[in-house]
């Protein structure tokens, strides 16, 4: 009996949660059905699911009809950080020793515009820096060469 092939990225079915995804943060899914929205101005309903077989808790649709929210980390300037960028060295807010930002399949990225960050661990790290009196760059000044 042949063993089943491991699905590749871009072929169906792909794993619901990428195997190289940072699992220290919750996996968030989005349902776009109007019936599931909390408010008429919303575009989607978000919910957490770690099972790998998500279903919208409101309408019970499965992952074929859901979208997986990308995880956006905060890049924090750090002269000793493990990540090299265009304007110096950085570290991730939630995982300061992590030496890569993203892979082709993990649906993660990292930014220095902190208004875009949705990683809970990174948001907590940014809030701690603010409490400690560290001045964070304004989003409009980030990544702009003068």
Mean pLDDT of the chain: 81
Q: Is the pLDDT of residue 43 over 80?
A: yes
Stretch among 28-42, 98-112, 113-127 having the lowest mean pLDDT: 98-112
Considering the entire predicted model, what is its pTM?
Answer: 0.70
| Tens digits of residue pLDDT in 76-98 | 999 999 998 888 899 999 999 99
How do strand 45-48 and strand 83-85 relate by DSSP bridges?
unpaired
Residue 30 DSSP label: E
How do strand 108-111 and strand 71-77 relate by DSSP bridges?
parallel
| Tens digits of residue pLDDT in 122-133 | 999 999 999 999
Contact by Cβ (8 Å): 21, 70: no
């Amino acid at each position: 009996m042949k063993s089943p092939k491991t699905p590749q990225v871009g072929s169906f079915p792909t794993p619901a949660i990428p195997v190289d995804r940072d699992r220290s943060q919750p996996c968030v899914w989005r349902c776009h059905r109007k019936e599931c929205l909390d408010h008429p101005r919303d575009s989607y309903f978000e919910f957490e699911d770690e099972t790998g077989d998500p279903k919208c808790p409101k309408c019970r649709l499965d992952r074929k009809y859901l979208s997986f929210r990308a995880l956006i980390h905060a890049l924090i300037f750090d002269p000793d950080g493990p990540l090299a960028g265009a304007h110096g060295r950085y570290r991730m807010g939630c995982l300061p020793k992590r030496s890569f930002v993203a892979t082709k399949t993990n649906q993660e990225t990292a930014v220095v515009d902190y208004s875009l960050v949705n990683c809970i661990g990174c948001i907590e790290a940014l809030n701690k820096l603010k409490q400690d009196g560290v001045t964070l760059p304004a989003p409009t000044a980030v990544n702009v060469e003068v």
